[in-house]
Amino acid sequence: MKILRLISWILLFILSACANREPQAETEAQAEAQAIMANPYSQGTILREAEDFFGRGAQGVADAFNRVFADNGPPGAYIRGEEGGAAFGVGLRYGHGTLYLSDGSTSPVYWRGPSLGVDVGGSATKVFMLIYNLNTVTDLYQRFGGVEGSLYFVGGIGVNYNSLDSIVVAPVRFGVGWRQGVNIGYLHLSPESSWLPF
């Protein structure tokens, strides 16, 4: 009788353990999300990285980042990179950089996107994108819509927000060239480069 009771308990334990197991891929995605969200970057760390990237003499860098932090808080990831773009009503931009996650991992990332609006000129910029509410790296590889009001002069700084669902991408651009106006478009991020703007 005791043996049957013991076997019943063992079987019950095994069945409950099997019922609570999740697929391996889902478990890995959850672990990645927890790692990204658990330790977001501090404001001081981001400001130091941005000043090193843009150069300590770049005016307005701290103000731009402080504004993004006031709006969104600390990011779980960021991208450092470069982009070029031009517009005459219809615009295009292409960029590339490195994605940095708060768990210490990095990966290359590319972006591109069309725009439409009252927008004219061209620019070459350094870009530092703050990324919020990112659960997995693959969630970043999609199209993020946004409205941008840009005014680039020599040494100009610009910030705009692109979002999709709960993920927010906030590019801070420090550029040379001249491009002014207002446009609407999207930013398509991907793990590989492409000349197709869509």
CA distance 105 to 109: 13
Output the pLDDT for position 73. Answer: 93
CATH class, range 39-190: mainly beta
Count Cβ neighbours within 10 Å for each residue of 74-88 and write b for 16 or more, e otherwise: ebbbbbbbebebbbe
pLDDT, tens digit, 9 for 90 and up, residues 19-61: 444 555 556 555 555 556 568 999 999 999 998 998 876 677 8
Q: What is the residue type of 73?
A: G
CA distance 43 to 56: 16
Output the pLDDT for position 7. Answer: 46
pTM: predicted TM-score of the whole model, two decimal places: 0.76
List alpha helices for 55-181, DSSP H: 61-72
| Listed range (41-45, 82-86, 115-119) with the worst mean pLDDT | 115-119
Count Cβ neighbours within 10 Å for each residue of 7-39 and write b for 16 or more, e otherwise: eeeeeeeeeeeeeeeeeeeeeebeebbeebbee
* Alpha carbon separation from 135 to 34, 63, 71 (Å, rounded): 8, 28, 20
